[in-house]
Chains A and B, each alone.
Chain A
Amino acid sequence: MKTGFAKICINPPYGAPISGYYEERLTKGILDSLYTRAVAFDDGKKKAVVIAVDLCTLAQKYYDAFKKAICEAIDIDKDAIFINCSHTHTGPIVGKDFASERHSTEAYDAFLISCVRDAAVYAFADMKESKFGTAKAQAKNISFVRRYRMKDGSVATNPGVNNPEIDHALGTPNETVKLVKIEREGGENIFIVNFGTHSDCVGGEYISADYIGYVCDILESAVPNTKCIFLLGAQGDVNHVNVNPTKGESAISKIDFDSVPRSIKHAEHMGRIIAGAVLSVCSITEEVKADEISFASKRIDLPSHQENHRLEEAKKIHDLYEAGRTDELPFKEMALTTAVAEARRILKLQNGPESFPFYLSAVKIGDLVFAGIGGEPFTEIGNRICDASPFEETILCCLTNTAGGYIPTTQAYSEGGYEARSSSLKPGGDDIMVKGMTELLNELK
């Protein structure tokens, strides 16, 4: 097996709109650069490429455009192209924004497509004979399920730090960091790091790759002759907010959009913890067979979350919000964001569609598999897929190869919270997704 690595800077122009929130943010500078990174694989018969892009989300047409451009430049099957978004909330809008009418320029879109294509081309030009190893470690106390049962019985997402009304969190974060270490003859080694927590620690109007940029930078600095790529795991219900913060945590952040504490310092802190976890195991990885490449994809259809019986209520909330009359609504901060997102979802889906297509992807490298699902699945969905996987080493990635919003667990719909109320998918989507991905992985085994 030969592998190659490349990365290309994809910073947006000054003034470009930033993706992630329900408020306008225009780029005022660069805290740290955004990249697209690619790891290429070639077993002598087949090729595959795993790509990470420092962007919040991508519409389906961009995944398709990236794949088309790569297929035109390289002799590769489109199902062997695995593209993962980092979900940074301090990156540019690409295409039309999910929360507004803002959009990127055609020039930036064209530039981005060439960057992703070129990263793949350069990675395939960097091929070296390779040996694979894997390891797992724990990154403790930096990830938190952000949905809480409140003392009044309700469920709230991001209810605010030190909120006395919080009773308990509705779930447990997955603190496992997965490492695939590729040692290359005569070339730089490659670390593939996989972890699932929202990359939304920074906020503001300055571009940043969030904690993910720090993970890569720290590892590349700490381990000589090493390049790093980060693949985001399931994280729909998990972020960095400790609602009972230590004094140290409070000292490095300030309250930002939706009453969430954020800062570049916190991203650095997260990056250090995750990189530290990787460093704790990177010298003792277990060799994994990586002889042949295979890949597959599968379409599943997840039912649409229409609620036309609530159209009137939704229209009222939406209109008041758009008119800037939020003081007439009985919501504030995250509760307001939740109500508005839910209203938009109800209005958007009033005339269909009945279901949404999702493309599940799997790229197998010997005994290792990269499993990709679209959207932002809850942690539990990721755990269920990994548990059901016939592979010992399953790198589960969200926001991969297909567009989509939150994918909550069925239980979350009855509980409430921002993700379930705003999701375009009906309850039951989690089971369809787990079943579909399990079938796909079994086909590859």
Chain B
Amino acid sequence: MFKAGFYEVDITPPLYMNMAGYPQIRLAETVLDNLYARAAVFEQCGTKVAILSVDMCSLQKSEYDDILDRIEQYTDIKRENVLACADHTHKGYPYFTVNAQDEKIRALREIFVCRAADCVILANQKLEDVKVKYGEESESTVARNRDYLMKDGTTRTNPGRLNPDIVKNVGNIDPSLPVLFFETEDGNPKGAVFSYACHQDCVGLEKGYSGDYASLISKKMKKQFGDDFVCIFLLGCCGDINHVDVTRDFIDKQYREIADKLFPKIISAIENSEEIKNPDLKNIKEPLHIEYFNADEKTLEDRIKVYTDMKNWYWIRDMINLYLKDKSEGVELNVQCIKIGDCLIYAVPGEVFVDFQLEIKKNSPTERNIFASLANGSSGYIPTPEVFNNLYSYEAIPRGYAQDTGVRVKEKIMEIAKKIF
């Protein structure tokens, strides 16, 4: 029998912390929506796999490692069987790495690690026999590719709303909205895992904590299925996708509109879902060594000039200068596949561009695919190779991952998918 246990833990930080996501300091002055860690633990034939999603911009390797240590200390779940990811809210936790010597940040980090890990530990206590259902819907009016062809022939990221120099949008989206739904044998709903590929940066101006549109969807799901229902959001590959409609003026708190659009689609996916009969449970997580973008001096000079001229991108120039001082040897990332019956959950590092998600789906051994990006202790954009040739790219910057990273992640995860399926 397939078992599942769900839990969520309030992880809202104290007031007056910097909400990560922007180069500017933004201290939280209120709470719009509490922040949560949400977890599911699955068990079948002695194998246990956990999914943990936290309301924060990115879950860095250091905190990821500590969370896994704690899960291993208190449960029989192996660290390689845990998928831990951030939902990329831009109204969440501060960067722990910045001001790490600050006593308040260190204390908050310790509490965060405990609470995030405890979410899995407590979900593990709630394991019970469940039926698993898979459903899928589509919503194409929320997600938008943020790259645009301009009248001067350049392609620019986020060129601004109502910008008269925009010619057209030049990128893909993936409108799919896959949902795994779990209920007891007698039909008591317990939890859901769903995915959508669109940046969680839709709240707007107010300086308050929020889990963005996913948190509103979670509230709606509780109204629908009960207070104990846990709805886990996995951020699809949306490195180049956000919610900005350049033909409309700025809308504050647009996350409400987005949640209002996505929620009925999720319900529709559940209502039309099919049970996965006798699902098996498999998991593979493997490391992948990634180099950093090693730009030559001319490229660097050209880019620094571009970033210096663009008033909102000054911080990228600072990042490049930082990179020049400290050329790292690269980093070890993780790619992971979880198989539940004929459904595959792909967990990729960083902010992978949507084209990779589309390619993986095209070559996937199954039609039922769910994606989690920013997974397993990672951050940073993973663009398609051609983006690196664009001087005006916001995402392909010379402190980020190397040009071939996306291709290597795709190839590695396809290799795992074929092994596991």
With A29-B122, A125-B30 known as contacts, the answer to whether A107 contacts B106 (CB < 8 A) is yes
Nearest neighbor of A108 in chain B, beta-carbon distance: B111
Whether a CB of chain B sits under 8 angstroms from the CB of A30 is yes
Nearest neighbor of B15 in chain A, beta-carbon distance: A118
With A107-B107, A117-B14 known as contacts, the answer to whether A15 contacts B74 (CB < 8 A) is yes
A110 engages B15 (CB within 8 Å)? no
Within 8 A of B (CB), among A1-52: 8-9, 11, 13-15, 29-30
A115-B15 Cα distance, complex, nearest whole Å: 9
A224 to chain B, nearest CB (A): 15
Chain A residues whose CB sits within 8 angstroms of the CB of B108 once the complex forms: 107, 110-111
Chain B residues whose CB sits within 8 angstroms of the CB of A114 once the complex forms: 14-15
Whether a CB of chain A sits under 8 angstroms from the CB of B3 is no
B12 engages A111 (CB within 8 Å)? no
B14 engages A115 (CB within 8 Å)? yes
Within 8 A of A (CB), among B1-28: 9-10, 12, 14-15
With A8-B12, A118-B14 known as contacts, the answer to whether A13 contacts B107 (CB < 8 A) is no
Chain B residues whose CB sits within 8 angstroms of the CB of A110 once the complex forms: 103-104, 107-108, 111
A174-B163 Cα distance, complex, nearest whole Å: 72
Nearest neighbor of B74 in chain A, beta-carbon distance: A14
A13 engages B104 (CB within 8 Å)? no
A106-B103 Cα distance, complex, nearest whole Å: 10
Chain A residues whose CB sits within 8 angstroms of the CB of B174 once the complex forms: none
Whether a CB of chain A sits under 8 angstroms from the CB of B147 is no
Chain A residues whose CB sits within 8 angstroms of the CB of B118 once the complex forms: 13-14
Whether a CB of chain B sits under 8 angstroms from the CB of A321 is no
A30-B15 Cα distance, complex, nearest whole Å: 25
A392-B268 Cα distance, complex, nearest whole Å: 58
Whether a CB of chain A sits under 8 angstroms from the CB of B367 is no
Whether a CB of chain A sits under 8 angstroms from the CB of B261 is no
Interface string of A111-123 (1 = CB under 8 A from B): 1001101100110
A47-B230 Cα distance, complex, nearest whole Å: 39
Whether a CB of chain B sits under 8 angstroms from the CB of A105 is yes
A115-B11 Cα distance, complex, nearest whole Å: 11
Residue B110 contacts which of A14, A105, A115 (CB distance < 8 angstroms)? A105
Interface string of B114-127 (1 = CB under 8 A from A): 11011001100100
Residue B111 contacts which of A13, A15, A118, A121 (CB distance < 8 angstroms)? A13
B186 to chain A, nearest CB (A): 23
A13 engages B115 (CB within 8 Å)? yes
Within 8 A of B (CB), among A53-110: 73, 105-108, 110
With A114-B15, A125-B30 known as contacts, the answer to whether A11 contacts B106 (CB < 8 A) is no
Whether a CB of chain A sits under 8 angstroms from the CB of B276 is no
Main secondary structure of the interface of A (DSSP, over half): helix
A8-B115 Cα distance, complex, nearest whole Å: 14
Chain B residues whose CB sits within 8 angstroms of the CB of A115 once the complex forms: 14
Nearest neighbor of A221 in chain B, beta-carbon distance: B227
B30 engages A30 (CB within 8 Å)? no
A114-B105 Cα distance, complex, nearest whole Å: 12
B111 engages A14 (CB within 8 Å)? no
Chain B residues whose CB sits within 8 angstroms of the CB of A107 once the complex forms: 106-108, 110-111, 114
Residue B114 contacts which of A13, A30, A125 (CB distance < 8 angstroms)? A13
B122 engages A111 (CB within 8 Å)? no
Chain A residues whose CB sits within 8 angstroms of the CB of B14 once the complex forms: 111, 114-115, 117-118
Number of interface residues of A (CB under 8 A): 22
A117-B117 Cα distance, complex, nearest whole Å: 25
Chain B residues whose CB sits within 8 angstroms of the CB of A15 once the complex forms: 74
Whether a CB of chain A sits under 8 angstroms from the CB of B295 is no
A117-B15 Cα distance, complex, nearest whole Å: 9
A13-B116 Cα distance, complex, nearest whole Å: 10
B122 engages A30 (CB within 8 Å)? yes
Whether a CB of chain A sits under 8 angstroms from the CB of B300 is no
Interface string of B62-79 (1 = CB under 8 A from A): 000000001000100000
With A13-B115, A108-B111 known as contacts, the answer to whether A29 contacts B125 (CB < 8 A) is yes
Nearest neighbor of A8 in chain B, beta-carbon distance: B12
Residue A14 contacts which of B31, B104, B106, B114 (CB distance < 8 angstroms)? B114
A122 engages B31 (CB within 8 Å)? yes
Nearest neighbor of A114 in chain B, beta-carbon distance: B14
Interface string of B137-160 (1 = CB under 8 A from A): 000000000000000000000000
Chain A residues whose CB sits within 8 angstroms of the CB of B125 once the complex forms: 29
A110-B114 Cα distance, complex, nearest whole Å: 14
Chain B residues whose CB sits within 8 angstroms of the CB of A9 once the complex forms: 10
A29-B125 Cα distance, complex, nearest whole Å: 8
B390 to chain A, nearest CB (A): 44
A109 to chain B, nearest CB (A): 8
Nearest neighbor of B118 in chain A, beta-carbon distance: A14
Interface string of B282-313 (1 = CB under 8 A from A): 00000000000000000000000000000000
With A111-B14, A115-B14, A125-B30 known as contacts, the answer to whether A14 contacts B107 (CB < 8 A) is no
With A107-B111, A125-B30 known as contacts, the answer to whether A11 contacts B12 (CB < 8 A) is no
A121-B30 Cα distance, complex, nearest whole Å: 9
A81 to chain B, nearest CB (A): 17
Chain B residues whose CB sits within 8 angstroms of the CB of A122 once the complex forms: 30-31
B15 engages A111 (CB within 8 Å)? no
Chain B residues whose CB sits within 8 angstroms of the CB of A106 once the complex forms: 107
A255 to chain B, nearest CB (A): 25
Nearest neighbor of B125 in chain A, beta-carbon distance: A29
A121 engages B15 (CB within 8 Å)? yes
A29-B104 Cα distance, complex, nearest whole Å: 26
With A107-B110, A110-B104, A118-B15 known as contacts, the answer to whether A11 contacts B9 (CB < 8 A) is yes
A9-B37 Cα distance, complex, nearest whole Å: 13
A73-B28 Cα distance, complex, nearest whole Å: 13
Chain A residues whose CB sits within 8 angstroms of the CB of B10 once the complex forms: 8-9, 11
A105-B10 Cα distance, complex, nearest whole Å: 19
A14-B9 Cα distance, complex, nearest whole Å: 12
A346 to chain B, nearest CB (A): 37
Within 8 A of B (CB), among A190-231: none
A118-B117 Cα distance, complex, nearest whole Å: 24
Chain B residues whose CB sits within 8 angstroms of the CB of A73 once the complex forms: 15
B76 to chain A, nearest CB (A): 15
Within 8 A of B (CB), among A116-148: 117-118, 121-122, 125
With A14-B122, A29-B125 known as contacts, the answer to whether A111 contacts B30 (CB < 8 A) is no
A175 to chain B, nearest CB (A): 32
With A118-B14, A122-B30 known as contacts, the answer to whether A111 contacts B74 (CB < 8 A) is no
A220 to chain B, nearest CB (A): 12
A13-B114 Cα distance, complex, nearest whole Å: 6
B107 engages A111 (CB within 8 Å)? yes
A29-B127 Cα distance, complex, nearest whole Å: 14
B6 to chain A, nearest CB (A): 14
B41 to chain A, nearest CB (A): 14
Nearest neighbor of A13 in chain B, beta-carbon distance: B114
B29 to chain A, nearest CB (A): 9
A106-B70 Cα distance, complex, nearest whole Å: 18
B318 to chain A, nearest CB (A): 31
Chain B residues whose CB sits within 8 angstroms of the CB of A108 once the complex forms: 111
Interface string of B91-103 (1 = CB under 8 A from A): 0000000000001
A215-B31 Cα distance, complex, nearest whole Å: 26
A-B contacts, 28 of them at CB < 8 A, read: A8-B12, A11-B9, A11-B115, A13-B111, A13-B114, A13-B115, A14-B70, A14-B74, A14-B114, A14-B117, A14-B118, A14-B121, A15-B74, A29-B122, A30-B122, A106-B107, A107-B106, A107-B108, A107-B111, A110-B103, A110-B104, A110-B107, A110-B111, A111-B107, A115-B14, A117-B14, A122-B30, A125-B30
| Given A14-B74, A105-B110, 11 new contacts (CB under 8 A) | A8-B12, A13-B115, A14-B117, A14-B122, A106-B107, A107-B111, A110-B111, A111-B111, A115-B14, A117-B14, A118-B14
5 A-B pairs closest in CB distance: A114-B14, A13-B114, A107-B110, A110-B107, A107-B107
